Amino acid sequence: MISVFEHPWLFGLFGDEEAAALWSAEVQLGHFRAFEAALARAKESAGQVPPNHGEAAASIIETAEIDLHGLARGTGTDGLPIPNLVRQLRAAAGDYHAAVHTGATSQDVMDTALSLTLKALTGLLQDRLKDLDVKLAELTQTQGPNALMGRTRMQAALPITAGDRLASWRQPLASHIAALDALRPQVERLQLGGAVGTRGDSGQAGPQIAAQMASVLGLQDGPVWHTDRSSVAAYAGCLSLITGSLGKIGQDVALMAQQGIDEVTLAAGGGSSAMPHKSNPVLAELLVTLARFNATQLAGMHQALVHEQERSGAAWMLEWMILPQMSVTTARALAASLTLCAQIKSLGNKRAHSI
């Protein structure tokens, strides 16, 4: 077993196909092609390649057969897939090879692919956050007036309503949606810095080329961010905050479901191989686990902030290992939260609590 997110049976608990697909080889290769095609066309528009050469190269880039095994071998040798990809594309482009990748560096391609991935991921997460907000609003309508015992430090405190508890679950969601919106300009950015991050490879036409590429790709144009990974780390922090809020829901439900407390009734639960009478609050437990996982991964993303000089291989690789898992964790936590809330048959009780 390498990853619970892709394991044949643990995937059933931890996996999220829609989020994982955003990081698939097919989708990422599509982003690489989009970058290279946009660059070829922009270089033609800037007069840096002969007329029609950029368009011809772009058409070949978009349709060329790519040897994925070659990319794997190249990654093992070069530390990333782009050098091998560029060799394959230039060979396919023939007489138009000068329009392929000239003025860019491998990090430009992969960082732009990351930006396109996070753009799609943000849309997915915001949709699920909004769906969860609607579901909690529905529960407030149906269960809100019911009585609950308020608990501080896990001890009985004073009576509250189910609506009070639900409000604490719902409150952070709007902030998370707004935070993701605020991060869009920071993480949905074109990367085009060239060899050492100065755009010197593109000469005076660098700004024009970047602006055209950003427009075509649907990204922001701005300063080069080869070594400034603060926005990527901030995005990871937002993912951890989201799963932390969902983990609070899970922890509350798990405690409320305890026999003797019985403050929540779930339509479904997990079984036991030894105790068939049990109905375990599996999804509630999962939310706690996912929250703790993302919290531990966030430290790694902060380690990846330390990019030495004009490019780091080591810190950059760390992002590749951590951020995709954090994104799938967050998406899965949202999906599990929606399912868990849909399983709530009753919350609190009709009678007032007494201490």
- The pLDDT score that the predictor gives to residue 245 is 98
State whether 142 and 81 are in the same domain.
Answer: no
pLDDT band at 353 (very low <50, low <70, confident <90, very high): low
Choice among 136-145, 271-280, 294-303 with the minimum mean pLDDT: 271-280
- The pLDDT score that the predictor gives to residue 194 is 93
Whether 245 is covered by a domain: the verdict is yes
Question: What mean pLDDT comes out for the span 337-354?
Answer: 83
Question: What mean pLDDT comes out for the span 158-165?
Answer: 95
- The pLDDT score that the predictor gives to residue 278 is 47
**Where is the domain boundary, 66, 83, 102?**
102
Whether 214 is covered by a domain: the verdict is no
Rounded to whole angstroms, how far apart are CA atoms 132 and 264?
Answer: 18
State whether 273 and 291 are in the same domain.
Answer: yes
Rounded to 5°, angle at Cα 214 from 308 and 305: 20
**Catalytic residue of the set 45, 292, 311, 346:** 311
**Where is the domain boundary, 58, 84, 102?**
102
The question of whether 184 is a catalytic residue gets the answer no
Q: How many CA atoms lie within 13 A of 255 on its CB side?
A: 17
Question: What mean pLDDT comes out for the span 31-56?
Answer: 97
Whether 199 is covered by a domain: the verdict is no
State whether 288 and 341 are in the same domain.
Answer: yes
- The pLDDT score that the predictor gives to residue 39 is 98
State whether 59 and 128 are in the same domain.
Answer: no
- Could you report the per-residue pLDDT of 54-95, keeping only the tens digit for each? 999 999 999 999 999 999 999 999 999 999 999 999 999 999
Question: What mean pLDDT comes out for the span 243-255?
Answer: 96
Question: What mean pLDDT comes out for the span 40-58?
Answer: 97
Question: What mean pLDDT comes out for the span 14-37?
Answer: 97
For residue 270, pLDDT over 70 is answered with: no
Backbone dihedral region for residue 275 (phi beyond 0: left; psi -120 to 50: alpha; all else: beta):
beta
For residue 275, pLDDT over 50 is answered with: no
Q: What is the CATH number of the domain that holds 120?
A: 1.20.200.10
Structural domain harbouring 273: 105-194+224-347
Query: Is residue 328 a contact partner of residue 16, using CB atoms and an 8 Å limit?
Result: yes
Question: What mean pLDDT comes out for the span 140-151?
Answer: 94
- The pLDDT score that the predictor gives to residue 261 is 85
Supply the mean pLDDT for the chain.
Answer: 93
Give the gyration radius of the chain's Cα atoms.
Answer: 25
Task: Please state the domain count of the chain.
Answer: 2
For residue 286, pLDDT over 50 is answered with: yes
Question: In whole angstroms, what separates CA 253 from the centre of its chain?
Answer: 26
- The pLDDT score that the predictor gives to residue 5 is 92
- The pLDDT score that the predictor gives to residue 273 is 35
Query: Is residue 116 a contact partner of residue 196, using CB atoms and an 8 Å limit?
Result: no
For residue 352, pLDDT over 60 is answered with: no
- Strand ranges for the chain from DSSP E: 147-152, 155-161, 264-266, 344-347
Report percent pLDDT > 70 for the chain: 95
Query: Is residue 38 a contact partner of residue 216, using CB atoms and an 8 Å limit?
Result: yes
- The pLDDT score that the predictor gives to residue 268 is 66
Query: Is residue 140 a contact partner of residue 132, using CB atoms and an 8 Å limit?
Result: no
Rounded to whole angstroms, how far apart are CA atoms 49 and 40?
Answer: 8
- Could you report the per-residue pLDDT of 329-343, keeping only the tens digit for each? 999 999 999 999 999
**Where is the domain boundary, 54, 78, 102?**
102
Pick from 99, 53, 44, 82: which is nearest to 209 by CA?
A: 44
Pick from 325, 341, 322, 180: which is nearest to 249 by CA?
A: 341
Question: What mean pLDDT comes out for the span 104-116?
Answer: 97
- The pLDDT score that the predictor gives to residue 351 is 63
Question: What mean pLDDT comes out for the span 86-111?
Answer: 97
Question: In whole angstroms, what separates CA 81 from the centre of its chain?
Answer: 21
**Catalytic residue of the set 24, 215, 230, 272:** 272
The question of whether 311 is a catalytic residue gets the answer yes
| 3-state helix, strand and coil shares in percent for the chain, rounded to the nearest 5 | 65, 5, 30
- Highest-scoring range by mean pLDDT, 5-9, 104-108, 197-201: 104-108
- The pLDDT score that the predictor gives to residue 253 is 95
For residue 197, pLDDT over 50 is answered with: yes
Burial group, residue 82, by CB count within 10 angstroms (0-12, 13-18, 19+): buried
- The pLDDT score that the predictor gives to residue 350 is 72
Question: In whole angstroms, what separates CA 145 from the centre of its chain?
Answer: 36
State whether 29 and 116 are in the same domain.
Answer: no
Amino acid identity for residue 108 in this structure: D
For residue 169, pLDDT over 80 is answered with: yes
Q: What is the DSSP string of 113-168?
A: HHHHHHHHHHHHHHHHHHHHHHHHHHHHHHHTTSEEEEEETTEEEEEEEHHHHHHH
Rounded alpha-carbon distances, angstroms, from residue 10 to 1, 4, 7, 256: 9, 5, 5, 26
Whether 233 is covered by a domain: the verdict is yes
pLDDT band at 2 (very low <50, low <70, confident <90, very high): confident
